[in-house]
Amino acid sequence: MALADSLCDLPNGESPFPAVVELNVGGQVYVTRHRTLVAVPDSLLWDMFSRKSPRELPKDSKGRFFLDRDGFLFRYVLDYMRDQRLVLPDYFPERSRLQREAEYFQLQELVRQLSAANQQRNSLGEEGWGSGEAEEGSRGGGSGKPRLPLLTTSTTVPVPPSPSSSDTTLARRSGYITVGYRGSYTIGRDCQADAKFRRVARITVCGKTSLAKEVFGETLNESRDPDRPPERYTSRYYLKFNFLEQAFDLLAEAGFHMLACSSTGTCAYASDQGEDKIWTSYTEYVFCRG
């Protein structure tokens, strides 16, 4: 979206912003109505899109208005601004971070609802509440019973149990995790010189959500499947690093052992003139903790 600066000089008090606005929030693109952005008076977005002109707001290279905030959590901020109701997924461990975003955007009612939900959750020690109690609070009821707590996982890599720690071993649940990667490498014509070693584009993780978070913690990228409950399976996670050995170390520390692996590969010449060969492959490793 390219905004014309001439829109800033519209007569009769009309808004200089278009009816449909494109936003780039931390790399995530959102498209919404201008009236949604100004729906909450005295909020930061209301101030930006009602009291300022398009010239004053930062934009990205494609002309979209840019906000340097959490692009994933902004979806809930924008959803709240549409009808001033807080509705969250059944498993949503990011309430504290969302409250911080609400404070930044100066959404006082959203801050109040999240603060009340966080205090009640902390007092009962329940980390997995759903959106039911938040919805009741937004409607003014405020006395609904909380859901039963869901299982939560730690963001730190657990220390492998010693042979004598039978209780710790029993507390660990069994399961499978599949790690996959697509890689490539180049070999010169004599298969020895001019070798360019393995290049890993991305390491994918498949398995139960709770196990994946337990093993990989903060190194797990959940952006492609952010609201997956802990007892459901996913094949859309990937790691924030590109070292297979690092993934293997984390799995070994968590008590997993490799059961099997499979790989497919193709070979092609790097160019019509040269004789260097490029090998590309896709490989999967299956790990188990029994």
Contact partners, residue 1, CB within 8 Å, separation at least 6 = 18, 21, 22, 62, 63, 64
Which helix (H) or strand (E) segment is 67 a member of?
Answer: strand 65-67
How sure is the predictor about 168, in pLDDT bands with cuts at 50, 70 and 90? Answer: very low
137: pLDDT confidence band, cut at 50, 70 and 90?
very low
Neighbours of 276 (CB within 10 A): 15
What does the pLDDT look like over 48-103, one tens digit per residue? 999 899 999 999 999 999 999 999 899 999 999 999 998 888 778 888 999 999 99
Q: CA dihedral in degrees (181, 94, 159, 246; nearest 10)?
A: 20
How far apart CA 89 and CA 106 sit, in angstroms, is 23
- Residue 98 carries which side chain, given as an amino acid letter? L
- The answer to which of 39-43, 186-190, 192-196, 198-202 has the lowest mean pLDDT is 192-196
pTM of the full predicted structure? 0.47
**Cβ neighbourhood burial of 118 (10 Å; 0-12, 13-18, 19+):** middle
User: 179 falls in which pLDDT band (50, 70, 90)?
Assistant: very high
If one compares 253 and 158, the residue with the highest pLDDT of the two is 253
Average pLDDT over residues 229-243: 90
d(CA 65, CA 2) in angstroms, rounded, equals 10
d(CA 244, CA 203): 7
Q: Select the highest-mean-pLDDT range: 4-8, 37-41, 195-199.
A: 37-41
For residue 248, the surrounding DSSP H or E stretch is helix 244-253
How many other CB atoms are found less than 10 A from the CB of residue 179?
27
DSSP code for 171: H
Q: Does pLDDT of 138 surpass 80?
A: no
Q: From CA 95, how far away is CA 133, in angstroms rounded? A: 13
Give dist(CA 231, CA 213) in Å, integer. Answer: 11
Could you tell me which residue, 109 or 124, shows the higher pLDDT?
109
Closest CA to 247 of 212, 223, 282, 210: 212
Q: Is 234 exposed, middle or buried (0-12, 13-18, 19+ CB in 10 A)?
A: middle
Q: How far is CA 187 from CA 161, 184, 273, 275, 282, in A?
A: 42, 10, 15, 9, 17
261, pLDDT greater than 80: yes
pLDDT at 207 over 80: yes
Instruction: Compute the average pLDDT of residues 234-248.
Output: 92
267 CB burial (10 A radius; 0-12, 13-18, 19+)? exposed
Q: Find residue 181's DSSP bridge partners.
A: 203, 283
User: CB neighbours (10 Å) of residue 81?
Assistant: 21
Query: Among residues 69, 93, 34, 68, which one has the least CA distance to residue 230?
Result: 93
For the cut 70, the answer to whether the pLDDT of residue 29 exceeds it is yes
Comparing CA positions, the residue from 20, 53, 58, 59 lying closest to residue 37 is 20
21 compared with 10, residue with greater pLDDT: 21
pLDDT > 70? residue 167: no
